[in-house]
Amino acid sequence: MATLAKEIKFTEKQIRIKKLHDILAIFKLHKVYCSQGVHDSKIELFKEYFVRYDRNQHYYNDNLNIKRFFSGLRLLVDKFV
């Protein structure tokens, strides 16, 4: 999993976030077991989620852990599009 995380260009600190590892594993399984239509639908949901996050980003500016998590999540979504 760490090799794949490095392929995605996670920083060393992002690699240590367990929740990102879990999401990475789910994305890999989802890509293998779900149809392309379902995959595309879920990617759209993530993109909508990021729009909401960006709209409220000022709430999270002071929390480095949340910012690090969301930057890693964006990398994951971009990789699995």
Average pLDDT over residues 8-16: 81
Query: Is the model's pLDDT at 3 over the cut of 90?
Result: no
Residues 45-80 pLDDT 10s? 988 989 998 998 898 889 998 988 888 888 888 887
pTM above 0.95, yes or no: no
Q: Is the pLDDT of residue 16 over 80?
A: yes
Instruction: Say what the pLDDT of residue 1 is.
Output: 58
The radius of gyration computed from the CA coordinates of the chain, to the nearest angstrom, equals 13
Tell me the C-alpha to C-alpha distance, in Å, between residue 80 and each of 32, 55, 61, 62, 64.
11, 23, 26, 29, 24
Percent of residues, the chain, with pLDDT higher than 70: 96
